[in-house]
């Protein structure tokens, strides 16, 4: 059954500004490989032991499956709202709104941690360890980071892409040098007493002790893969926007598998399980191993890698959030002011500034409340990521359901893979949510419920409340049914065309 060709909606973004390479760089940078490994691998090892490399492979499977879902949906409808637009097309406006909400909240939450890391590592780079340990000064520097990179995003997508090339180059070279030197020292016998020779058994998921450990490990690893979809969120600014963003997402995901597998094996081989699972090291494994592997002088290369990683990801987190809210406003799901564009820079003005302000407010507010609450908010990210990625997978399979009989390829890439990825993420979401409910999960609790659960599930419930308020204040989007059905009493769009998006043709 044929699918109606999409009507393009011009939101005012700068078309054709990004090529395939730029899109791949943005996709990889968004995941913050250096920071993600430093902050996560210790916790993964604590959950699954020596099977950390196996978890990296397992987490790659749903990510690749969902990347195919993004590719297929983007080819049909290259809308910068991504999950918001596609879920609304498949399941109706409320599902779409919640998909967009999941993206926005996850990005605002992670910005707090990225800003904190940028503040700490900025001081560590200059050996100012006292300032790096100061909550006040790291918060000040973190807020400055957010402000500066919000301005970079405000100035244009091309400036943002050029900066990403430099930041990612430093990061990848540093991680590669660390991994190679660490493995050379292990095999030459120059590593510490806890060093281990890499083994194929490390890649065997059957040796993970329990399903709870497996689901927790995969959800942690999903967090470190998260972010490649920024390449698709910039689709309306990309050359050949119906093909390039989807290809970039898949390439970025595969590249991340190589980076994470290599560095995980190197860390585990050099430091051994004891170093990785030590509670004093789990928050930043690379800082612990960096000096030992590269020496105190060259160890700063890893500090620089994590710093550039946090900076790059801060910038590429602002980009997709601003474009999600731009799309939501253009389709009249949220106030029209979020669709305002800069006439010269061709960037969403209100959406970009609002993302910066929301991130600063959230970060500063949680620092004032409690560092433990901030830590638990980061731990809850896996739930939000699994939610909107799984929704995208389901939207793809449902939207193309009548095309699955056309060919084996269509059945595979439009149905089987998206459903497989969505199913895995849903299982991880449900199992981890159950575990997070426990009082002793994380560092905070309230009324006998774990703080991580309250923040993660509470964020989604808050989204339902916001949706109701938006529906009461701005009903046309919600009255119009699925995207493509003209809304009743709809006000003029602030930018772009008033041509509605299409619905699927019926059998």
The CATH number given to whatever domain includes residue 379 is 1.20.1740.10
Domain membership of residue 488 (yes or no) is no
- Mean pLDDT over all residues of the chain? 84
Q: Which letter does DSSP use for residue 401 in this model? A: G
Phi, psi at residue 56, to the nearest 5°? -60, -40
Specify the range with the lowest mean pLDDT, choosing from 60-69, 71-80, 215-224: 215-224
Residue 497 has pLDDT above 50, yes or no: no
* Among 443, 412, 485, 452, residue whose Cα is nearest residue 68: 412
Domain membership of residue 427 (yes or no) is yes
Domain membership of residue 9 (yes or no) is no
Tell me the average pLDDT across 283-303: 79
Residue 410 has pLDDT above 60, yes or no: yes
pLDDT band at 125 (very low <50, low <70, confident <90, very high): confident
pLDDT at position 485, please? 40
What gap in Å lies between CA 59 and CA 338, rounded to an integer?
Answer: 34
Domain membership of residue 498 (yes or no) is no
Tell me the average pLDDT across 303-326: 84
pLDDT band at 103 (very low <50, low <70, confident <90, very high): very high
Name, in order, each residue with C-beta under 8 angstroms of 419's C-beta and a sequence gap of 6 or more.
393, 394, 397
Residue 61 has pLDDT above 50, yes or no: yes
Specify the range with the lowest mean pLDDT, choosing from 291-295, 333-337, 389-393: 291-295
Domain membership of residue 484 (yes or no) is no
Highest mean pLDDT among 6-20, 385-399, 467-481: 385-399
Instruction: Render pLDDT for 34-57 as a digit per residue (tens, 0 to 9).
Output: 888 887 888 889 889 999 999 999
Residue 496 has pLDDT above 60, yes or no: no
pLDDT at position 371, please? 65
pLDDT band at 82 (very low <50, low <70, confident <90, very high): very high
Q: Which domain holds residue 54?
A: 20-479
Find out whether 44 and 37 touch, Cβ atoms under 8 Å: no
Residue 484 has pLDDT above 60, yes or no: no
Q: Which letter does DSSP use for residue 482 in this model? A: S
Highest mean pLDDT among 278-282, 401-405, 487-491: 401-405
What gap in Å lies between CA 198 and CA 183, rounded to an integer?
Answer: 9
pLDDT at position 4, please? 38
Instruction: Render pLDDT for 62-76 as a digit per residue (tens, 0 to 9).
Output: 999 999 999 999 999
3-state helix, strand, coil in the chain (%, to 5): 75, 0, 25
| Comparison of pLDDT for 303 and 68, the residue scoring more | 68
Domain membership of residue 32 (yes or no) is yes
Find out whether 477 and 333 touch, Cβ atoms under 8 Å: yes
Domain membership of residue 1 (yes or no) is no
pLDDT at position 304, please? 82
Q: Which letter does DSSP use for residue 18 in this model? A: B
Percentage with pLDDT > 70 across the chain: 90
Query: In the chain, how many domains are there?
Result: 1
Domain membership of residue 307 (yes or no) is yes
What gap in Å lies between CA 311 and CA 135, rounded to an integer?
Answer: 19
Instruction: Render pLDDT for 425-443 as a digit per residue (tens, 0 to 9).
Output: 998 889 888 888 888 887 7
Residue 5 has pLDDT above 70, yes or no: no
Residue 194 has pLDDT above 90, yes or no: no
């Amino acid at each position: 059954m044929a699918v109606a060709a999409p009507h393009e909606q011009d939101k005012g973004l700068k078309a054709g500004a990004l090529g395939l390479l730029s899109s791949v760089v943005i996709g990889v940078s968004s995941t913050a490989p250096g920071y993600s490994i430093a902050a996560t691998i210790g916790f993964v090892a604590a959950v699954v032991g020596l099977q950390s490399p196996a978890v990296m492979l397992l987490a790659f499977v749903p990510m690749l499956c969902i990347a195919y879902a993004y590719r297929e949906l983007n080819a049909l409808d290259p809308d910068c709202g991504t999950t918001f637009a596609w879920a609304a097309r498949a399941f109706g406006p409320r599902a779409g709104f919640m998909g967009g909400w999941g993206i926005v909240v996850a990005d605002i939450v992670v910005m707090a941690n990225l800003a904190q890391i940028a503040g700490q590592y900025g001081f560590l780079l200059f050996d100012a360890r006292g300032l790096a340990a100061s909550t006040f000064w790291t918060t000040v520097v973190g807020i400055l980071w957010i402000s500066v990179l919000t301005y970079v995003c405000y100035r244009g997508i091309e400036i943002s892409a050029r900066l990403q090339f430099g930041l990612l180059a430093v990061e990848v070279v540093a991680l590669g040098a660390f991994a190679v030197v660490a493995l050379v020292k292990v095999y030459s016998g120059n590593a510490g007493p806890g060093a281990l020779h890499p083994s194929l058994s490390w890649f065997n998921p059957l040796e993970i002790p329990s399903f709870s450990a497996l689901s927790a490990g995969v959800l942690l690893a999903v967090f470190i893969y998260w972010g490649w979809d920024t390449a698709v969120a910039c689709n309306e600014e990309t050359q050949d926007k119906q093909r390039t963003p989807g290809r970039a997402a898949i390439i970025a995901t595969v590249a991340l598998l190589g980076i994470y597998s290599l560095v995980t094996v190197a860390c585990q081989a050099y430091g051994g399980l004891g170093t990785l699972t030590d509670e004093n090291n789990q928050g930043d494994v690379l800082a612990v191993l960096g000096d030992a592997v590269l020496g105190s002088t060259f160890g700063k290369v890893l500090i620089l890698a994590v710093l550039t990683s946090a900076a790059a990801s801060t910038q590429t987190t602002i980009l997709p959030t601003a474009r999600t809210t731009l799309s939501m406003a253009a389709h009249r799901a949220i106030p029209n002011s979020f669709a305002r564009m800069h006439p010269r820079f061709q960037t969403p003005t209100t959406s970009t500034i609002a993302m910066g302000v929301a991130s600063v407010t959230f970060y500063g507010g949680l620092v004032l409340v409690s560092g433990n609450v901030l830590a638990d908010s980061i731990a809850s990210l896996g739930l939000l990521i699994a939610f909107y990625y799984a929704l995208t997978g389901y939207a793809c399979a449902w939207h193309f359901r009548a095309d699955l009989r056309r060919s084996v390829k269509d059945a595979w890439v439009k149905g089987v893979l998206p459903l497989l990825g969505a199913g895995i993420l849903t299982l991880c979401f449900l199992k981890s949510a159950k575990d997070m409910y426990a009082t002793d999960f994380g560092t905070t609790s309230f009324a006998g419920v774990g703080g991580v659960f309250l923040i993660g599930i509470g964020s989604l419930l808050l989204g339902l409340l916001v949706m109701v308020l938006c529906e009461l204040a701005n009903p046309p989007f919600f009255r119009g049914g699925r995207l493509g059905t003209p809304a009743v009493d709809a006000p003029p769009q602030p930018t772009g065309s008033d041509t509605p998006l299409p619905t699927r043709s019926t059998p």
